[in-house]
């Protein structure tokens, strides 16, 4: 790492320790972080993002020792997955310890934890010396920030101190899995494909039931990942684009070539680019629901939802 970024990481760590907010890169998307043990600091995140208070925040940790300060009752499934996928884009849900303030977990008794692999995130966690609570760095409901410029677009002059490390590698968020019970439950599709988790566990993973009243992953009940203009998903892209264009609708389209990873990587970038170009409608081609394609489709369906 260059000297300049090291100086900036040290400064970011001081801000976190003093109860401030920092925008930092992870391998999935950018995050807005605060000291997870400081409820007043975490409150600032909800305020800045205009995030509903019942939507809990993921706690980022530097190593497995730090896990025990925030989580308890670590199941064998959890141990196995941590060994295989940490550090990396897998978030696991545990019983929380008393030290984790309610505001972090939206009042739940559980806490979602992940150990990021991005070198800058890791260096920040080490330097700060505390777990960092961090949602994606975007206004609530918007496509996640995967580049520093996008974070600045959403927050303008209110953007917290920002560590810029270029474009995020995966471009979609971490996979969220509840590993407390007998059956692991997938709460959010993400950068680690469900198939990989099932392969490691040697059995199937269940999907969270789709209820909107009391969902297991509160974040999933809202319209999400959505650009400022309407978005629809199409199986036959050309046909649908043509149909709208003929009616005089200014359409922006996002085509699937053949690589799911690169599609995921640029999806939020493309959405944000098209909305600023002044189109009336964004049409995205549907992708195969395998590997990271599941995460892509989950996000597209949320983004096309009306409310």
Give the strands of the sheet with 231-234, arranged side by side.
231-234, 281-285, 251-254
Regarding 131 and contact with ligand TXA (CB under 6 A), the answer is: no
* Piece of 12-20, 40-48, 168-176, 241-249 that binds ligand TXA (CB under 6 A): 168-176
Regarding 26 and contact with Mg ion (CB under 5 A), the answer is: no
C-alpha–C-alpha distance, residues 282 and 209, integer Å: 29
List binders of Mg ion among 125-144 (CB under 5 A): 136
Minimum CB separation of residue 237 from Mg ion in Å reads 27
Token pair recorded at residue 290 = 């395998």
Minimum CB separation of residue 277 from ligand TXA in Å reads 25
Minimum CB separation of residue 55 from ligand TXA in Å reads 5
Round to the nearest angstrom and report the end-to-end CA distance of the chain. Answer: 43
Minimum CB separation of residue 141 from Mg ion in Å reads 9
C-alpha–C-alpha distance, residues 144 and 220, integer Å: 14
Token pair recorded at residue 113 = 């934890």
Residue 58: name its binding partner from Mg ion, ligand TXA, none (Cβ under 5 to 8 Å by kind).
ligand TXA
Regarding 113 and contact with ligand TXA (CB under 6 A), the answer is: no
What is the secondary structure of 123-145 as a DSSP string?
HHHHHH-S-EE--BSSSTTSPPP
Which of 35, 38, 146, 174 touches ligand TXA (CB under 6 A)? 174
List binders of ligand TXA among 44-103 (CB under 6 A): 55-58, 89, 91, 93
Token pair recorded at residue 241 = 């684009």
Regarding 146 and contact with Mg ion (CB under 5 A), the answer is: no
Minimum CB separation of residue 92 from ligand TXA in Å reads 10
Q: By rule CB under 6 A, what count of residues binds ligand TXA?
A: 30
Q: Which is nearer to ligand TXA, 187 or 233 (CB)?
A: 187
With beta carbons less than 8 A apart as the criterion, state whether 113 and 58 touch.
yes
Which of 15, 71, 78, 176 touches ligand TXA (CB under 6 A)? 176
Q: Which is nearer to ligand TXA, 124 or 281 (CB)?
A: 124
With beta carbons less than 8 A apart as the criterion, state whether 247 and 218 touch.
no
DSSP letter for 178, please: E
Minimum CB separation of residue 144 from Mg ion in Å reads 5
* Piece of 7-15, 68-76, 218-226, 266-274 that binds ligand TXA (CB under 6 A): 218-226
Cα four-point dihedral sign 94, 98, 103, 107: positive
**How long is the chain?**
307
Regarding 146 and contact with ligand TXA (CB under 6 A), the answer is: no
Which of 67, 86, 120, 136 touches ligand TXA (CB under 6 A)? 136
For residues 136-163, b (16+ Cβ closer than 10 Å) or e, as one string?
A: bbbebbbbbbbbbebbbbbbeeebbebb
Cα four-point dihedral sign 69, 70, 74, 78: negative
The single residue listed with the structure tokens 């609570």 is: 133
C-alpha–C-alpha distance, residues 16 and 14, integer Å: 5
Residues that bind ligand TXA (CB under 6 A): 26, 28-29, 31, 55-58, 89, 91, 93, 105, 108, 110-112, 114, 134-136, 173-174, 176, 187-188, 216-220
Residues that bind Mg ion (CB under 5 A): 136
């Amino acid at each position: 790492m260059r000297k300049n970024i090291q100086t900036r990481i040290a400064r970011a760590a001081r801000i976190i320790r003093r109860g401030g907010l920092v925008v930092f890169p992870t391998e999935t998307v950018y995050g807005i972080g605060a000291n997870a043990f400081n409820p007043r600091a975490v409150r600032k995140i909800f305020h800045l993002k205009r995030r509903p208070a019942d939507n809990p925040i993921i706690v980022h940790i530097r190593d497995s020792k730090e896990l025990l300060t925030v989580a308890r009752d670590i199941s064998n499934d959890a141990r196995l997955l941590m060994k295989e996928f940490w550090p990396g884009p897998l978030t696991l849900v545990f019983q929380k310890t008393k030290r984790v303030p309610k505001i972090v977990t939206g009042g739940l008794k559980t806490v979602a934890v992940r150990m990021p692999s991005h070198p800058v995130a890791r260096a920040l966690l080490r330097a700060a010396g505390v777990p960092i609570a961090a949602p994606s760095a975007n206004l609530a409901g918007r496509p996640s920030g995967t580049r520093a410029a996008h974070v600045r677009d959403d927050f303008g002059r209110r953007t917290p101190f920002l560590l810029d490390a270029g474009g995020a590698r995966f471009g979609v968020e971490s996979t969220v899995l509840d590993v407390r019970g007998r059956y692991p439950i997938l709460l959010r599709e993400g950068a680690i494909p469900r198939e990989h988790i099932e392969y490691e566990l040697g059995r199937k993973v269940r999907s969270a039931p789709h209820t909107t009243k009391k969902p297991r992953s509160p974040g999933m009940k809202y319209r999400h990942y959505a650009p400022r203009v309407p978005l629809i998903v199409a199986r036959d892209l050309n046909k649908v684009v043509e149909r709208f264009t003929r009616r005089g609708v200014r359409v922006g389209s996002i085509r699937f070539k053949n690589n799911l990873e690169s599609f995921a990587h640029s999806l939020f970038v493309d959405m944000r680019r098209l909305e600023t170009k002044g189109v009336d409608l964004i049409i995205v081609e549907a992708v195969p629901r395998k590997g990271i394609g599941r995460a892509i489709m989950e996000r597209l369906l949320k983004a096309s939802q009306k409310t």
